[in-house]
Amino acid sequence: MRLISTVHPNETERNSNLRHFASLFEKYLEWKKDCASMQTLPTSTPIYRARREEANQLRRAIKAEIEALWQSDQLRAGPIQVESEARRIMQRSHVIMDSYPQWVKFVKALNKEAFWRYEASMICNNKAWRSKYTELRNAESDTELRHKKLHLIKQTFRELGIEKKPPRLVSPVIKFSTWKGGDRDGNPFVTASFSNEVFIDHKIFVLEKYQKMVSVLLDSLTPSSSHVENEPELLESLQKDKALFPYVQSIKPNERYRNKLRYMLEKLDNTLIMVREVKKRAGATVKPLLGRLSSRMRV
């Protein structure tokens, strides 16, 4: 699945309004949760009064968000500029990067469900399979529910001793693209130098995201070789990194996963320094600089 983010000059929705809607929705969910938690509390207890005050504060905040929306311009005053297009896609990319693992998990679950339903459709005319499925269905309740049907299909295969295994999705199942800042549809404001700057911004965005991810892992991935066996590939990789980056400090011999992450972080830092230098010289010099640095900017 390839999802492409586009924009149109007549796009009227403003980012400020979208942020109001998002904040309003989050506050409503929190208020609803607080109200539900008070249902079982005696009204005379201090904790009930504290929860009620929190809920009232959220209710006032919700009213303020609604009033701010009413008092804001709902439509954009003029056509969206290409610079704004580029900024908007970067803001959306933050959401995409944070929610991507859940999306992939959801798509993989749909793939497995489609597999089991397809296999069932291919064998449903078999008398033994249909008889066993009917028997199991009659013993269950709410069999029209989607997850119950899926469970019955898998259980029928198991009861009959028919082994089925859904195929694994190993290639990226969802890809994201955009032509914002790089469209070639005749927009006079999208020049080659502007596109190059947008590409550099995208590279910086991704590298900074990787930086944060590695930094989090650095504090949490702490297995020691005294307790966990290390793969030969990891040890070989660490030897190569040590030769490339002898100046990296705070290396603990037993924590080899953390050591690998420190080297990864160093590579990301070095690449970001080079890309930001390119960003400073953006414009007429961007293209030749990108060409000279392309081989060194690989992480």
Answer whether residue 262 is part of any domain.
yes
Q: Are 76 and 14 in contact (CB under 8 A)?
A: yes
What is the model's pTM? Answer: 0.67
72 and 94 belong to one structural domain: no
Answer whether residue 232 is part of any domain.
yes
Comparing 58 with 9, which gets the higher pLDDT?
A: 58
68 and 89 belong to one structural domain: no
Whether the per-residue pLDDT at 200 is higher than 80: the answer is yes
Answer whether residue 286 is part of any domain.
yes
Comparing 92 with 237, which gets the higher pLDDT?
A: 237
Q: What pLDDT does residue 25 have?
A: 94
Domain that holds residue 29: 13-77
**Interval 72-91 mean pLDDT:** 78
Answer whether residue 3 is part of any domain.
no
Answer whether residue 138 is part of any domain.
yes
199 and 233 belong to one structural domain: yes
Answer whether residue 299 is part of any domain.
no
Task: Give the confidence band of 261 by pLDDT, cuts at 50, 70, 90.
Answer: very high
203 and 273 belong to one structural domain: yes
169 and 243 belong to one structural domain: no
Torsion of CA 94, 97, 103, 105, to 10 degrees: -150
Q: How many domains does the chain have?
A: 3
Whether the per-residue pLDDT at 65 is higher than 90: the answer is yes
67 and 142 belong to one structural domain: no
Give the end of a domain, one of 181, 210, 228. 181
